[in-house]
């Protein structure tokens, strides 16, 4: 069982938010899965790495591309963003793992996945170009503004117009349960500490991860009505979700999205 966003479904994007009831048949045969590094590392999978002849699952034939390649200009592409961006070869086997906090691709049929339990899985899709991204959002990536940097990376790498992007926020630990220390709040730069992101209840401090991610996306140019949210706190719903915070469970839920053909 996976949960789906009506918005992404309507726009023809194969995707799913994993639950603790997910089974292998809920996922595509090949998914390029990120093992998060808790920062702001964005992996870009593009057909330009292999010049056209390659599909997911085939062996890579072409060289990887670098920052000086024609399709990506580090300076103009991610102006104002200091995200660590790495271009990667296509997945060569099902469930290939790579390290990073976000992955984006413009190759139709390529599926990208992230693993979470309490952190927020964010899926972004370009309704016109068909490109997509999977993003792992914890408090660290919220503090570095990763969601906004992925929007910039999609614009820089693939020419995405933020006004044409769709986003779906998956289940994560809610502000009901996500208690954080003062040191977490101090990590957030002034300007990123949006009104309402942190709530003080008695002597405890709580963080609203979903509200923060949503705010960053809208600040980056997404229309509020194109930001979908799957409601459900991973800590409050032990039947449906794994939770590290609530139950110290080691399992992770996989959420994925598959890039499609342009419209």
Interface residue list for Zn ion (CB under 5 A): 174, 176-177, 233, 235-236
Helix extents (H) in the chain:
6-10, 74-77, 139-144, 146-158, 182-187, 209-219, 244-247
Residue 1 or 176: which CB sits closer to Zn ion? Answer: 176
Torsion of CA 65, 90, 43, 34, to 10 degrees: -160
Residue 116 or 235: which CB sits closer to Zn ion? Answer: 235
Helices 209-219 and 146-158: crossing angle in degrees, nearest 10, is 40
Whole-number Å distance between alpha carbons of 39 and 70: 27
Residue 205 or 236: which CB sits closer to Zn ion? Answer: 236
Closest distance of CB 118 from Zn ion, Å:
10
In angstroms, the Cα distances linking 245 to 20, 95, 138 are: 15, 26, 12
Residue 37 or 236: which CB sits closer to Zn ion? Answer: 236
Residue 184 or 236: which CB sits closer to Zn ion? Answer: 236
Closest distance of CB 239 from Zn ion, Å:
13
CB atoms within 10 A of CB 93: 11
Closest distance of CB 243 from Zn ion, Å:
9
Backbone angles phi, psi at 212, to 5 degrees: -65, -45
Closest distance of CB 177 from Zn ion, Å:
3
Given the structure tokens 């006004």, which residue do they identify? 163
Closest distance of CB 241 from Zn ion, Å:
10
């Amino acid at each position: 069982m996976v949960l789906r966003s009506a918005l992404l479904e309507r726009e023809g994007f194969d995707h799913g938010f994993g639950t603790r009831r997910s089974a292998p048949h809920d996922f595509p045969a090949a998914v390029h899965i990120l093992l998060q590094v808790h920062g702001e590392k964005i992996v870009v999978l593009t057909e330009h790495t292999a010049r056209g002849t390659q599909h997911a699952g085939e062996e890579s034939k072409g060289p990887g591309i670098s920052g000086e390649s024609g399709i990506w200009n580090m300076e103009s592409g991610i102006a104002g963003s200091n995200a660590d961006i790495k271009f990667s070869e296509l997945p060569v086997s099902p469930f290939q793992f790579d390290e990073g906090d976000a992955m984006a691709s413009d190759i139709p049929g390529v599926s990208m996945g992230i693993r979470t339990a309490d952190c927020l899985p964010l899926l972004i899709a370009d309704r016109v170009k068909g490109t997509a991204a999977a993003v792992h959002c914890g408090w660290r990536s919220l503090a570095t503004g990763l969601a906004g940097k992925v929007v910039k990376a999609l614009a820089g790498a693939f020419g995405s117009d933020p006004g044409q992007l769709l986003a779906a926020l998956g289940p994560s630990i809610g502000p009901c349960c996500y208690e954080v220390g003062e040191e977490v709040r101090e990590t957030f730069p002034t300007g990123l500490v949006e009104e309402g992101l942190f709530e003080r209840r008695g002597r405890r401090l709580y963080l609203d991860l979903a509200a923060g991610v949503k705010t960053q996306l809208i600040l980056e140019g997404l229309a509020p009505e194109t930001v979908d949210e799957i409601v459900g706190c991973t800590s409050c719903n032990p039947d449906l979700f794994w939770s590290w915070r609530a139950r110290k469970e080691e399992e992770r839920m996989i959420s994925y999205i598959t890039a499609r053909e342009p419209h």
